Structure 1
């Protein structure tokens, strides 16, 4: 499935600073970047960095002078997903997990699974199927947490979201991750470009490790599951921030787009009560 994505960012630089951007489409065996271009006005020294685990592509910008910096990223991406029946997948023992999966079992800055273990077991512990557990988690979040723009900030954690019962996509994702980890289901943060998201923006959801696959879930229900272009996966948003700023810098504008440009008609996929198929995103 082919998507054309773009991100336009403007920063008001007050003093020499460094910006680390995380807006490039991830290159994987099943997500190919057919074309991409990063332009910066005025021209600034830039360096591309790849995370050691291969789950992020960073661009590091070093600014020497004050002024307005405009950044534009455009890419044509061809990605692949697979729909599988995960309804009868048996829960894997921790002893069988690959070492790369183990970090996604532990509490992290925004996903305090240790503080939410009682809630997780009392609410979802009786469900036998691992997939249905995660589906029930996303369904519970959708029903009990109000999607409310501007209701949270960069300090808001999964534990805060439970008490406030409001948040945005990153808060929905963090809560889903924390509840999964509390049930010994590895889960990781997913950020990307999203087709049909209104208003257009970067989007966050999460993946749960089920039967040897990373399966995508989105408790917001704002976008089709097959309408995503992956930027990064990580323990939580602390490791997958769109921009990490070091210096006196103010973001003055963000514009994001994601358009489907495939030859076949786009058929959206959502999870429903009657469909227990998992979307595995590569």
Structure 2
């Protein structure tokens, strides 16, 4: 499925600073960037780089004097997702059988304190036998018990804060889903994306759970179809996959984000707990 994505961010820099931005569509075997452009007004020194197993595409900008600048990214991206049959999936994969690169996604992290949520996780979701059923139940519970409320949280809000305050945005919904999965020994990782017709328009955050040897996508906000995502980055949580990491005195003045389907035959896909199949972008 082909999508046209774009983002435009404007920043005011008060003193010499460095920004690391994470707005490029990921290149992977299941996601091809067919066309892309990046514009900086005014011109600034910029360097694209990547690191780690996820190969997120990061852009480092050096600003040597106070100014206001705008960065605009546009791309046409072809995504290929797989429908994974989970009829034979018998439960959580034993940790001894997990690949080494999956193990880090079992541990508590800065925004996903799974060690603090084990009692809640087992009391609410321990009754389900299959991992897919557990994660669907987790997303349904978050959707039904946490209010989506713009501006209700900040960059310091964690999964533990969200389950206490029962309000948040997509980032918080994702962190809570990740923490509850890890508390049940299900590896889970953060997922940022451009999302088809997301309302309100913004960068979107959801999560993937490792089930039956595959990374399966989940979105507890239910604000975007699961097959309408263009992946930007993965990480343990938002600390690894933030849209912007700022080192200096910088303020964001405006942000515009969009994702539109180029093809007309788009059919939105969502889950319910009784399904026996999941969707994977990996």
**TM-score normalised according to structure 1 size:** 0.97
Alignment of 1:148-163 (within 5 A): 148-163=149-164
Q: Which residue of 2 aligns with 1:191?
A: 192
Which residue of structure 2 lines up, in the alignment, with residue 166 of structure 1? 167
Structure 1 equivalent of residue 221 of structure 2: 220
* CA deviation map 1:33-85 (0-9, x unaligned): 01111110111110001122234110000011211111001111001101122
Which string of whole-angstrom CA distances, capped at 9 and with x for unpartnered residues, describes residues 135-176 of structure 1?
Answer: 000011111111111111111100011110111101100000
Q: What does 1:36-75 align with in structure 2 at a 5 Å threshold?
A: 36-75=36-75
Match of 1:118 in 2: 119
Give the Cα–Cα distance (whole angstroms) in 1 for the partners of residues 104 and 255 of structure 2. Answer: 32
Partners of 1:276 and 1:7 in 2: CA distance: 35
1:233 Cα deviation after fit: 0.5
Partner residue of 1:179?
180
Q: Determine the structure 1 residue equivalent to 2:278.
A: 278
- Correspondence for 1:269: 269
Query: Conserved in 2, the CA contact under 8 Å of 1:110 and 1:156?
Result: yes
1:9 aligns with 2:15: no
TM-align CA RMSD: 1.0
Residue segments in structure 2 that go unaligned for 5+ positions in a row: none
Question: Greater shift after overlay, 8-17 or 88-97?
Answer: 88-97
**Range with greater deviation from structure 2 (243-252 or 80-89):** 80-89
Q: Structure 1 residue 275: deviation in Å?
A: 2.8
Contact 1:88–1:129 (CA under 8 A) maintained in structure 2 = no
Per-residue Cα deviation, 1:200-222 (whole angstroms, up to 9, x for no partner): 11000000000100000001111
- In structure 1, what is the Cα distance between the partners aligned to 2:14 and 2:156? 24
2:96 aligned counterpart, secondary structure = helix
| Alignment partner of 1:127 is 2:128 | yes
- Post-superposition offset of 1:274: 4.0
Whole-angstrom distance in 2 between the partners of 1:87 and 1:193? 30
CA–CA distance in structure 2, aligned partners of residues 181 and 274 of structure 1: 22
For residue 53 of structure 1, give the secondary structure of its aligned residue in structure 2.
coil
| CA–CA separation in structure 2 for the residues paired with 1:77 and 1:257 | 13
Aligned to 1:209: 210
1:32 is displaced (CA, Å) by 0.5
For residues 214-253 of structure 1, the aligned pairs below 5 Å read 214-253=215-254
Q: For residues 218-258 of structure 1, what are the alpha-carbon distances to aligned partners after superposition, in whole Å with 9 as ceiling and x for unaligned?
A: 01111100000000010000111100111111110100010
Is the 2:54–2:235 contact (alpha carbons within 8 Å) kept by the matching residues of 1? Answer: no
2:112 and 2:159 in contact (8 A); partners too: yes
Distance of 1:54 and 1:268 partners within structure 2: 26
Q: Does 1:92 align with 2:93?
A: yes
- Alpha-carbon distance, 1:87 to partner: 4.4
In structure 2, C-alpha distance between the alignment counterparts of 1:252 and 1:277, rounded to whole Å:
42
Contact 1:189 / 1:236 at 8 angstroms: preserved in 2?
Answer: yes
Question: Counterparts of 1:183 and 1:189 in 2: how far apart (Å)?
Answer: 17
Q: 1 CA distance for matches of 2:128 and 2:201? A: 36
